[in-house]
Amino acid sequence: MIYLDHYRTTPVLEAVVKKMTPFLREAYFLPESFTKRGTEAAEVIDQSNRVLLDAFNIEDGEVVYTSGGTASNNIVISGVLRDVDLREAHIVCTVIDHPSIVNTYEYYRKKGASVTFLKVDGNGLIDPEELRKHIQTKTVLISLTHTNHTIGAIQPLEQLLPIIKEQNPKTRIHIDATMSLNAMALDLSQLPIDFLTFSGHKIYGPKGVGAIVFRKSGPLKPILFGTVTTSPFSPGAENIPGIVGLSEALRIATAQREAYLHKMRPLQERTIKRIESEIPDVVLNGPRPHPEGNLHTFSVKRAIDNINFSFRYVEGESIMMFLDFEDIIVATGSACASSDLKVNYVLSAIGRDHEMAHGSLRITPGWGNDEEQIDQMIDRLKPIVSRLRAQSTLR
Amino acid sequence: MRMVAGYEGGKALAVIKYSEKVLEHFRNPKNIGMIEDADGQSTVGSPACGDQVSMFLKIREDRITDIKFLSYGCASNIATGSIITEMAKGKSLNEAKAITWKNAVDELGGLPPVKIHCSVLAIDGLRAAIQDYEEKTTGIKQERKVDEMMILDELKKVIYPKNGINIVDTNMIRYLSFEEGVITIEISIEETDLFKQNVLEEIDEHLEVLPGVKKIEIKVVEY
């Protein structure tokens, strides 16, 4: 199998499994006061908290564990808005944010909040001046996906966030960093982020666990109720194996970033170069990686581990399935492959017409890939695309 | 980005899977290509709505002697084109016209409900190619005058993905009128229905091509 769908999910690292296993078996206890095993379990969570806070360089912060990125985003948005008079509230996100943000914002729009869905340019990036215009005195919350899940566009937070705080220091800033953390550090001592959300299974950790990291002063209100042991925002039994796995995966991702960048860069370069030179009528979706871009700064506009192409005259589900027959796994933005037959909203938002969005493939390499696998994938992709084009009604 | 079926209350979301037969016809479609000197041909659907099918027929003594198709579409679209051309080959025109969408789907061992739109297109394409041939040979344009019956026939081509039955027989059409080029329809579908937009767009697609239709007004009602 050649797995090139790491934006969908990643395998759990061996080291992470090792770290988790004792907590499934012998150390299966839950946090509890006064008992030896209960306090040990609480300490395990404390240690995980420390790992998360260190990774984001924030001294005085809080950590909430959730069931994943979607739950994290929901708990932040609904938690901030819980006691707010929605008719007086204004909230801002972009049209290409993850569905767990966009759909939650849409829910609050229907409930009476005033919502701005910021437009993006042809590369999926926000115009800073457009952002400035839309932060008002009643803007209580802005949610931004740092690295876009479809086209890998990276919003320049170091440029955007000061604008928000300048316009309204009270606006709370929520950043979804789910797709960023393998390749990029987010330094909360430098960036005025109020809530940072992410997920375990995109960073080679387990599924079913995510987190919210935020400053102690954060105005979050609980939206889930039950037995509170470690955090009022996530009542009920703690997912200790998951929490341990999440923090270990983040610790490793942080330590391995340099190596990750060096591994991904030639894979991305080769994929883009070969597809563009060997397959006619293709369009790269999202920003073009800067050939000299310094990987350590926010001047990078495209994630190092994301490639997204539209292949004209063919439909993406067909390409995806033919690759799948060969045990090569990628993703498509085709409406045909979605549950509601709607065309991919991210690709629409960057101006791709229906046909272009239908013929899109998202190729996302990871730790397990090498250049040989990239070559194999492209060697298979070429005849598939020409064959489907030969039998297409178009062109 | 993966295929997940529509949520049905109480039932877990099911991941869509194609039957072996669909996969086989998708991998190795029969009768793919075009016929340069076709006696009848058609192109239906549009890239904007996701699929397009072209059909080409060779006809001798009212019998289909050769048939080919091209497809811009997903696996189910290609597979249905393949099976329908197989079914129609060698048949008389009347027999071919009688092939229904259901016949094709049964022959394929079933299709996921959400994929019905793609499979109806191939049937439309076959019928349109036959009509093209008949019009050419008789010189008579088979254009029916647009009336409410004809609109209803068109609406019967719009399949409700949740049950795989067209929206007319699903009893979703609550009101229909056609006056001075304006079609007015009331359709009963819930605001939160996953397929609402899809159904409405398809109604538009089917009706806007009818001659003399200037405007389509669709009202969504929840009763």
CB under 8 Å to A289, separation ≥6 — which residues? Answer: A268, A269, A272, A300, A301, A302, A304
Annotated catalytic, A93? no
Instruction: Provide the shortest C-alpha distance from residue A135 to chain B (in Å).
Output: 30
What ipTM was estimated for this complex?
A: 0.83
Q: What is the DSSP letter of B141?
A: -
What is the C-alpha to C-alpha distance for residues A357 and A361, in angstroms, rounded to an integer? 9
Does B1 sit within 8 Å of A394, measured CB to CB? no
What is the C-alpha to C-alpha distance for residues A298 and A188, in angstroms, rounded to an integer? 14
Does B72 sit within 8 Å of A337, measured CB to CB? no
pLDDT tens digits along A324-369: 999 999 999 887 766 666 778 999 999 998 888 889 999 999 999 9
The domain spans of chain B are 20-138, 148-221
Helix, strand or coil for residue B52?
strand
pLDDT tens digits along A75-127: 999 999 999 999 999 999 999 999 999 999 999 999 999 999 999 999 999 99
Annotated catalytic, B74? no
Ranking A230-239, A288-297, B149-158 by mean pLDDT, the lowest is A288-297
Domains contained in chain A, CATH given: 14-254 (3.40.640.10), 257-390 (3.90.1150.10)
Judging by beta carbons within 10 Å of its beta carbon (0-12, 13-18, 19+), is residue B142 exposed, middle or buried? Answer: exposed
Q: Are B57 and B40 in contact (CB under 8 A)?
A: yes
Q: Are B156 and B189 in contact (CB under 8 A)?
A: no
Q: Are A218 and A140 in contact (CB under 8 A)?
A: no
Size of interface A-B (CB pairs under 8 A): 91
Residue of B nearest to A337 (CA): B3
Helix, strand or coil for residue A200?
coil
| Chain B residues closer than 8 Å to A360 by CB | none
Distances (CA, A) of B139 to A357, B2, B134: 41, 48, 8
Greatest CA span in chain B, whole angstroms? 56
Does A339 sit within 8 Å of B114, measured CB to CB? yes
What is the C-alpha to C-alpha distance for residues B79 and B33, in angstroms, rounded to an integer? 14
The structure tokens listed for B76 are 């189910």
Q: Are A203 and A10 in contact (CB under 8 A)?
A: yes
Among A residues 2-31, those touching chain B with beta carbons less than 8 Å apart:
8
Q: Does the domain formed by B148-221 have CATH 3.30.365.10?
A: no
Catalytically annotated residue among B49, B74, B87, B200:
B49
- Side-chain half-sphere of A6: how many Cα atoms within 13 Å? 27
What is the C-alpha to C-alpha distance for residues A304 and A260, in angstroms, rounded to an integer? 9
Q: What is the number of residues in chain B?
A: 223
pLDDT tens digits along B151-194: 888 888 888 877 777 888 888 888 888 888 899 998 999 888 87
Distances (CA, A) of B183 to A134, A273, A388: 41, 52, 38
Residue A208 pLDDT more than 70?
yes
Does A314 sit within 8 Å of B32, measured CB to CB? no
For the segment(s) B20-138, the CATH number from 3.90.1010.10, 3.40.50.12780, 3.30.750.200, 2.40.10.340 is 3.90.1010.10
Residue of A nearest to B68 (CA): A391
What is the C-alpha to C-alpha distance for residues A297 and B10, in angstroms, rounded to an integer? 48
Does A332 sit within 8 Å of B71, measured CB to CB? no
What is the C-alpha to C-alpha distance for residues B72 and A356, in angstroms, rounded to an integer? 12
